[in-house]
Structure formats: structure tokens, C-alpha cells
Amino acid sequence: MKQNEILEDGHGRRFYYLRLSVTDVCNFRCDYCLPDGYQAAPNASKTPDLSVAEATTVMGAFARLGTRKVRLSGGEPSLRKDLPALIQAAKTTPGIQRVAVTSNGYKLPSVIDSWHHNGLDQLNISIDSLDNAEFARITGHDCLPRIRTGIDRALELGIQTKVNAVLLGDGAQSRLSQFLNWLKTTPVTLRFIELMQTGDNRDYFASNHLRGSDIEQQLIESGWQLLPRAIDAGPAREYVHPDYAGRIGLITPYSKDFCNSCNRLRVSAQGKLHLCLFSDAGLDLRETIRAGDANALAEKVRALIGNKEVSHYLQKGNTGGTQNLSIIGG
Ligand code: SAM
Ligand code: SF4
């Protein structure tokens, strides 16, 4: 591959989108992700998370390879006090056109203005239920009203705002009605994500997995219409309805051909390249990142892209080395 040619794998997929995890630590205990909370590895001295300078090198390298959009994720990215500086570093990287953050939103009202000031274009907040008590049960934190105040402020600031809701079997219909009610007047995109099996949640997955296609069928029958997909968009199929201010997206990783539209790569907070959310292990880039040479890093990533598999093989029960999604940011 030549320098400045857009990164493409052996299956013809091009990568416009980088998900950069800035920490694997989280303060929530979501049932499907970290039910016992974040556990530091015993007796291990943890490699420090990427510094702002290192993250800048990573984003610079990916921008040279055609990346246009960066999402900062975690763990919980807002646990990093320097998240505004990371947002600014992404925003000022030549070639990066959109900067997004995925967060549980627990301190959103007090931080959203600074994220906006530093260049945030898009915000994804995870809310699995609009019922305060149910939200507290799922996440271990009784703070939904505060998160909703933060979302209102993000909308006031003109930030494109999406809400991620993992589809969970029990009580799905009542959660769907509450969300639909909210979307009548709230201009956010609600993205239902099918629960994915990870190394840690096998039993939970077996009793809670719900197919996104069941919800999708209901939406189509009640007049929701599918929108065309942008090249740097996520994997969601997005629907609109004339009676609703908000939109609905569906992310269905178990559907046939889901991986054909893969356009993203992931780098962990420890500086490992994950060619897939469910690959066996990350490929260690830390030494090259630490050296600060974005060109050398870009060439290294180019050399590794040929190892990307055609599918995640989740349907076959493969979860690779992914114990939970907080490790590499979902
Ligand atoms: N802590 C932040 C948050 O929750 O938004 C960012 C990291 S979290 C891993 C990113 C997204 O992955 C969240 O929307 C979360 O609900 C989703 N997620 C986590 N585990 C999942 C699983 N097993 N299946 C589907 N989605 C999952
Ligand atoms: Fe934390 Fe996000 Fe995982 Fe919930 S889904 S435990 S908020 S990393």
C-alpha cells in the first residue's frame, strides 16, 4: 500500500473510524459488562493509560491512513480529568472531521460545556432504561435524572446526541414504550444494541439476549422508515418517523453480513490495536506510540491490517479474548 492511500483490508473494507479507549476503568457496574465493578488485576503493575501526547500520535497516524472520525471511549472516559484535552487533541488533528465521546454520563451536566468548548461534535450516552429504579438496578448508580439534565444541556449546545440502549429480554416492551414516548419530543437518536456475548457474561447472555430484528419489525409495522447509511457512520440501521423528533437505530451484531460494513479499528488505553472487538488479543503498538513518530506508527498499522478476519464469528459463540467491553470501549 502507498502512503496516504486509505487503509483497506484484504476483504475490501475501508477504515474511516477509530475508537480510541482512554481508560479501561469504570465506576458503573452494568449487569452485562462489569456486574462486580471494575477489578484491577491483582499484583500487577498496570501499564499507564495513553497520555494526551501518545493519544495525539495515535490519532495522527490514523488520520494519515484516512481516518475521519475518532470516538473516545472506555471504560468510562470521563473518569480521566484530561478528557477535555484529549477531545481537543482529536479535534485539532489534521484530517479528523468528527470527534465523538461515548460515556455513561454520570457527571454530564458539569462537564458537557467544557467538552463542547474543546470541540466535541457528537455525544453517545448509555441509558438502558428510562425508569429511574430500573436504571439504578442495571448500572448500580441511581443517577438517571442527572444524566438526562446533561443530555438536555448537550442538545441546547447543538451537540449531535445519541443514546445507546442495550436490548435486554425481560421487560423489553415496557422499556420500548417509554423510549418511544420520549422520542416524540426529544431530538436524539436512540440506538438499540443487541446484547453481545463476552467471556464474562455467558450466563447473563443466555437468559437476556433479545434479537434486534423483532423490535425492528415492530417499528417498520408502525411506520418507521429506514435511512441510507453514510460511509463514516456506525453499524446502526437508522429509522425515522414523521411523528417523532428523535430517530431509532438498530445495531444487530448477530445478523448475517453485519461485518461486511465494518469501517472501524480500535486502540486500547494500553496502546494495543484491536482489529475486531472480538479478536483474540490486541497487537501491541506502545513502543512505536511512545516514540512519537506518527508516520512510523501508520506504516505499522498498514502492515497489520492484513490480519483482520472477515467476521467476528460471534454466531459460533466466539468471544475471542474479550472478557467484557469495558476493556476496549465497545
Ligand atoms: N462506559 C461508557 C458507556 O457505557 O457508554 C463507554 C464504554 S461502554 C463499553 C460502550 C457501550 O458498550 C455502551 O453503550 C454499553 O452499553 C455497550 N456494551 C457494553 N457491554 C455490552 C455487551 N455485552 N453487549 C452490547 N453492548 C454492550
Ligand atoms: Fe461501565 Fe460502560 Fe461497562 Fe457500564 S457499559 S460497566 S458504564 S464500561
* Model pTM above 0.85: yes
For the ranges 39-43, 110-114, 142-146, 220-224, the lowest mean pLDDT is seen at 39-43
Mean pLDDT, residues 53-79: 96
28 Cβ inside 6 Å of ligand 2: yes
Q: Which atom of ligand 1 is nearest to the CA of 196?
A: 24
Domain range 7-316, CATH class: alpha beta
Residue 255 pLDDT class (50, 70, 90 cuts):
confident
User: Which ligand is closest to the CA of 26, given by its number?
Assistant: 2
Q: pLDDT tens digits, residue range 257-305?
A: 777 778 888 999 999 999 887 777 788 999 999 999 999 999 999 988 8
271 Cβ inside 6 Å of ligand 1: no
130 Cβ inside 6 Å of ligand 2: no
Q: pLDDT tens digits, residue range 115-154?
A: 999 999 999 999 999 999 999 999 999 999 999 999 999 9
* Residue with grid cell 451484531, as numbered in its chain: 253
DSSP for 128-172, please give it. S-SSHHHHHHHHS---HHHHHHHHHHHHHTT-EEEEEEEE-STTH
Kindly provide the b/e burial profile for residues 44-54, where b requires at least 16 CB atoms within 10 angstroms of the residue's own CB.
Answer: eeeeebbeeeb
Residue 247 makes CB contacts below 8 A (sequence gap 6+) with 183, 188, 189, 190, 227, 238, 239, 240
Helices and strands, counts by H and E, the chain: 10, 12
- Identify which of 19, 36, 76 to mutate to test ligand 2's pocket (most ligand atoms within 8 A of the CB): 76
Is the distance from CB of 195 to CB of 167 less than 8 angstroms? yes
Q: Which atom of ligand 2 is nearest to the CA of 29?
A: 6
Residue 240 pLDDT class (50, 70, 90 cuts):
very high
Longest CA–CA separation in the chain, Å: 56
pLDDT score of 9 more than 90: no
**CA separation for the pair 183, 185 (Å, rounded):** 5
Span from the CA of 37 to the centroid of ligand 2 (angstroms): 9
Mean pLDDT, residues 208-227: 94
Pick the more confident residue, 264 or 318: 264
The residue whose CA has the least distance to atom 4 of ligand 2 is 30
